[in-house]
Structures are given as structure tokens and as C-alpha cells.
Amino acid sequence: MSIDFNTVISSHSGLINKVCYMYAEDSQHLQDLRQEVLTNIWEGLAGYKGDAKLSTWIYRVAINTCVSYIRRYSNKTDNCRLDAVSGVELSSAHSQGEMTTREMLTEMYAMIGHLGRLDKAVILLWLDGYSYDDIAALVGISKNNVAVRLHRAKSRLINSEI
């Protein structure tokens, strides 16, 4: 199976950017993560056998790359400062009670950014419409564990326990 790297990247750029964004601490870190993901996709593309959808394979490569990169190069906690990446002042918009859809999405992703690495991956996959079975296979946990983690993460997000 021959797959063109440039076509794959252009078709899945949004997915790659989103995963990197959720694990980045700032804009430089975002670029480093993206470069690392692209490198791993380039190196692994020849070994892609088509057992899973290409987007699922890319998602797995991106998440695994980001988590591995952070473990390797970071001595910080699981929390990310996504407000620094986006450059959006979330608190002022929130206090005025006049949030646009973009501001609400930015705040939601900032809150998700404060979840642990595994919970972040699970909620991102769920938001993208993946089934519990697919999420379990992608992150390497049981379907029941996916359900528990999703329930707890959603509760934390709803109750602003982050």
C-alpha cells in the first residue's frame, strides 16, 4: 500500500494540530510537538497496513508522540497552560458574561488542557465522535475504564474542578 505523505498531512492537518495543541505549553512547544508528530508519521507510514482507518492510526501516532515527548523532555506536571498558546484572555470575557462561541470553545479546550494526559486523550477522542471501543483500542485501556474516565472528566469540567 503506497500512501503519499503530503496528501496524508494535508488531509489530516487539523487532527494533528488539535492533538498537539492540547498537549502544548506554549507556541514553541506546539511547533516542537507538531514536528515530532510529523517525523513519526513519516517514519511509520511505510509500515501502515490499513488494519485501522488512517485517521485512527494518525490519532494514535499523534497522541503517543505527544505523551512520549512530554515524558522525555518535561519535568512538569500534567497540566498545560493553553491560555498561553491561544493568547486569548479567558477570564475577562467570562466575567463580562458575553462569550462568543469561539471564546467558549477556547475556554473549554483550556479546561480540557488541565486534565491528565490520559483523560485529555480520552475526552478529545470522544469529542471527535470515536466509540468507546475505538477509544479503548487507541489509548490502551478497557472500554469500562473509558466510560469511567469520561464520566469523571465531564463531571470535573462541568463542576469547574480544574
Q: Where in the chain is the domain with CATH 1.10.10.10?
A: 89-162
Supply the DSSP string of 1-25, one letter for each residue. ----HHHHHHHHHHHHHHHHHHH-S
Asked if the 89-162 domain carries CATH number 1.20.1090.10, the reply is no
Q: How confident is the model over 95-137, as pLDDT tens digits?
A: 445 667 777 777 888 888 888 888 988 988 888 888 999 888 8
pLDDT at 89: 38
Instruction: Locate CATH 1.10.1740.10 in the chain.
Output: 1-76
Give tens-digit pLDDT for 18-73: 888 888 888 888 899 999 999 999 999 988 888 888 988 999 899 889 888 877 87
Nearest-angstrom CA–CA distance, 89 and 161: 20
Three-state DSSP class for residue 121 = helix
Select from 1.25.40.10, 1.10.1740.10, 3.10.20.590, 3.30.420.40 the CATH code of 1-76: 1.10.1740.10
d(CA 77, CA 64): 17
How high is the pLDDT of residue 9? 93
